[in-house]
Amino acid sequence: MAADGAAIIDVGGESTRPGARSIWEGDEIERVAPVIRQLAAGGTAVSCDTRKADVMTAAVEAGARMINDVSALTYDARSAGVAASLNVPVVLMHHKGAPEVMQDDPRYDDVLVEIYLWLEERIEAAVDAGVARNKILIDPGFGFGKNVGHNLELMNGLALFHSLGCPLVIGASRKRTIGALSNEAPTDKRIGGSIALAFKAVEQGAQIIRVHDVFETVQALRVWRGLRDQALTPRV
């Protein structure tokens, strides 16, 4: 993935997809630490996808340089303080409900406003716990406690979240919404939809796109950027 153009490799040892169950942190550490250590030793920039304070510590000790927490430091009571002490960037992601039940019947009065206010609160909570504001990134949580309509509204309104003042991370690759819009295509048949959502995100200024199909997405974005840059180049 790094050879194909990924700037960061995000390593996780616990699934948090809808319906997933939590695992013991010791097992999670055994899964991620050796992988992180080897990747970091080879010069790869590594992020660790975890909700648990002890896993965060083990990951950074192994060489991770960013924490990606899908619970936005709410799952583990110690995680905010630990994230502050580790002094690495941390991604705060919006979610609605635990993974086991978050897709049962998610409801919002206004999905963009509610996510915005929730992330604003989580940013302030992280800062109060000692996390430097310039080390906070935000992820509006595409697919985490949201139905298809919520996800589409979210992607159409991504630019709103820049006013929170933190870099924007988007992870929509291969997710259920793509299948729902393409005759229930299985996960390995969702690359076209994944790239379409990646385009939508970068057009609205997202700084980090989390993907599975690295080569294809990087190629598509390089062509998109080439077209844009050429269009902006003054004719002599």
Residues marked as catalytic: 175, 210
3-class secondary structure for the chain?
A: CCCCCCCCEEEECCCCCCCCCCCCHHHHHHHHHHHHHHHHHCCCCEEEECCCHHHHHHHHHHCCCEEEECCCCCCCCCHHHHHHHHCCCEEEECCCCCCCCCCCCCCCCCHHHHHHHHHHHHHHHHHHCCCCHHHEEEECCCCCCCCHHHHHHHHHCHHHHHHHCCCEEECCCCCHHHHHCCCCCCHHHCHHHHHHHHHHHHHCCCCEECCCCHHHHHHHHHHHHHHHHHHHCCCC
* Residues 158 and 142 sit within 8 Å (Cβ to Cβ): no
* 73 touches 85 (CB < 8 A): no
For residue 62, give the nearest of 95, 29, 108, 84 by alpha carbon: 29
Starting at the edge strand that comes first in sequence, how are the strands of the sheet with 46-49 ordered? 9-12, 46-49, 66-69, 90-93, 136-139
